[in-house]
Structure 1
Amino acid sequence: MSRQAGIGTVGKALEVLDRVAAVGRPVRFSELLAKSSHPKATLYRLLQTLVSQGMLVYDDQRQTYSLGIRLVRLAHAAWRQSSIAPIARPFVKALAETVGETVHLAQLDSGQVLYVEKRNAADPIDMFSQAGKVGPAYCTGVGKALMAFLGAAELDDVLKKQSFYRFTPATLTSEEALRADLARIREDGIAFDREEHEPGIICIAAPILSSKGRPVGALSVTTSTRRKSVEDLTELRPALLGTAARIAAAVEDWQFPA
């Protein structure tokens, strides 16, 4: 088998894994086939390979496929090696206790925001974000804080991946408007979500920068407009920036993933 063919096969197998994961429950072959671009025989062969490697589990009685335990082991290994969450967790916890609001820790993942840690306030608010969940970058405080400090070429690439869907009347729906906001964030050092992703949800966010100025994560304090205004959140700036700096120092020796 040629190297290119091998890459193609791996890509197809990962695509099947993604489809099984996206369903969110054990799934039948017929369901996968209905949404697959692969011929029946190819899809069956890929599924059999994934089962044999422990990436999927097949239930003979229900005739369904679900994610395998090997993926759990890989996920834990990736979490330890590629996420700053284990290092940042005590700092996130301390900040949440200090400010009495929900604190998020996030990283960029293929142009989107991956929430890697979340600490709720004593009185938590129902909101979209959860640890392990992926959200849009262009309309979240952590996303904008991360994008604002990317290099020019990397920022161009990330901006191409934004959908600019209007979630609320406050959502920035053009690259021009977002770039203007990012310029302000670079100058000020903090970002805000002014109900841009969810109505009634606001936040103040700061990047976590390496000694070379590379954004390795972002931290936010999130609350509801029923509790605070954006102006109120500004008072949390010293605590937020101080925590971001402490996390940055703690992860300085961490091997940053490309």
Structure 2
Amino acid sequence: MSSANPRPELPPDHDPLFVQAIGRGMQVMQAFSGSDRPLSLAEIAARAGITRSAAQRVVHTLRRMGYLRSTAEGRGFLPDLKILDLTYDYLRLNPLLRRASPALLELRRNVRERVDLSLFDGQRMVYAARMQSKREMYFATLVGNTVPTFCTSGGWAVMAMLPDDQVDHLLAQADLRPLTPRTLTDPDAIRQQVRLARETGHALALEQILMGEIALGVAIPDAEGRPVAAIHVAGSLAEWEPEEFRRRVAPLASETARAIISA
């Protein structure tokens, strides 16, 4: 359930340090965000907001460098293996993820449910570590999958560490479309969840992303106290009563967050 990113706006031409050609290349790579199939050259051009001829040159260059490939039928293009090299470098060089890994493994052993760590990126939470349970859908196993900040336990926990004016700005800019029949889309109802997270130190979300799922989130701040990430623990409502899940998981998740902060 990866949410498509809006097309990035390139800086104005008078920015002397910005390399337009590299910007177009990144726009082409971002064209695949949210797509569930290969893209044709025309589709890449439209999604990237560039001309077909520019897309053709960029796609050719990225293919030669190993970042794109054509399908076996030759009817479209897909990201290629070298993208994973960049992903690996990001993950191994991220100090927060290095510190978090052993603590998340210990949390997973203790709760025996899915444990994720997501990074706060404005309107979305980006999964950077995923430790699975016995039942998962394919998208829920992928690093890099994103979910909206406004309707996730980790997002509510992150917003609880922000000033009210920043919370209001996030909600004003959010695409408040529901992902399930129970997704909260009323800004006041979301603010109430944020207030509860401030009081308890964690957020509890019921069926906000998936029907039948319960998730508890705890935010992780940086050295200046700004929220940068969140731990999520997710279980099934078929196996857990909400308050039982909270009592079992909240202390362990909070302890894990403290261990990551102090590592």
Q: CA deviation at 1:66?
A: 3.5
Q: CA deviation at 1:6?
A: 4.4
Are the counterparts in 2 of residues 20 and 65 from structure 1 also a CA contact under 8 Å?
no
User: Does the C-alpha gap of structure 1 residues 154 and 68 become closer, same or farther in structure 2, counting only changes over 3 Å?
Assistant: farther
Aligned length: 249
Give deviations 1:188-235, integer Å, cap 9, x for gaps.
Answer: 111001222221101222112345322232112211111001111121
2:244 aligned partner: 232
1:163 aligned partner: 175
Q: CA deviation at 1:55?
A: 3.5
User: Does the C-alpha gap of structure 1 residues 101 and 20 become closer, same or farther in structure 2, counting only changes over 3 Å?
Assistant: closer
- For 1:129, the aligned partner's letter is A
Q: RMSD value over aligned CA atoms? A: 3.0
User: Does the C-alpha gap of structure 1 residues 51 and 230 become closer, same or farther in structure 2, counting only changes over 3 Å?
Assistant: same
**Which shifted more, 76-85 or 193-202?**
76-85
1:203 aligned partner: 215
* SS in structure 2 of the partner of residue 235 of structure 1: helix
Find the partner of 2:258 among 245, 252, 256: 245
- For 2:135, the aligned partner's letter is P
Q: CA deviation at 1:177?
A: 1.9
- For 1:48, the aligned partner's letter is H
User: Does the C-alpha gap of structure 1 residues 171 and 11 become closer, same or farther in structure 2, counting only changes over 3 Å?
Assistant: same
User: Does the C-alpha gap of structure 1 residues 77 and 184 become closer, same or farther in structure 2, counting only changes over 3 Å?
Assistant: same
Find the partner of 1:185 among 160, 185, 197: 197
**Which shifted more, 233-242 or 41-50?**
41-50
Q: Matches of 2:93 and 2:163 in 1, distance apart?
A: 24
User: Does the C-alpha gap of structure 1 residues 30 and 234 become closer, same or farther in structure 2, counting only changes over 3 Å?
Assistant: closer
Unaligned regions of 5+ residues in structure 2, if any?
Answer: 1-12
- Whether 2:218 is the aligned partner of 1:218: answer no
Q: Matches of 1:2 and 1:172 in 2, distance apart?
A: 42
Q: Matches of 2:65 and 2:169 in 1, distance apart?
A: 34
Find the partner of 2:145 among 133, 153, 169: 133
Q: CA deviation at 1:167?
A: 2.6
User: Which structure 2 residues correspond to residues 65-104 of structure 1 after superposition, within 5 A?
Assistant: 65-82=77-94, 84-104=96-116
- Whether 2:38 is the aligned partner of 1:38: answer no
Unaligned regions of 5+ residues in structure 1, if any?
Answer: 251-258
Q: CA deviation at 1:63?
A: 6.8
Q: CA deviation at 1:69?
A: 4.4
- For 1:207, the aligned partner's letter is A
- For 2:149, the aligned partner's letter is A
Find the partner of 1:124 among 135, 140, 150: 135
Q: CA deviation at 1:11?
A: 2.6
1:108 aligned partner: 120
Q: Matches of 2:238 and 2:152 in 1, distance apart?
A: 19
User: Does the C-alpha gap of structure 1 residues 242 and 198 become closer, same or farther in structure 2, counting only changes over 3 Å?
Assistant: same
Q: Spell out structure 1 runs of 4+ moving beyond 6 A.
A: none
- For 2:208, the aligned partner's letter is E
- For 1:42, the aligned partner's letter is A
Output the TM-score relative to the length of structure 1.
0.81
User: Does the C-alpha gap of structure 1 residues 166 and 26 become closer, same or farther in structure 2, counting only changes over 3 Å?
Assistant: closer
Q: CA deviation at 1:19?
A: 1.8
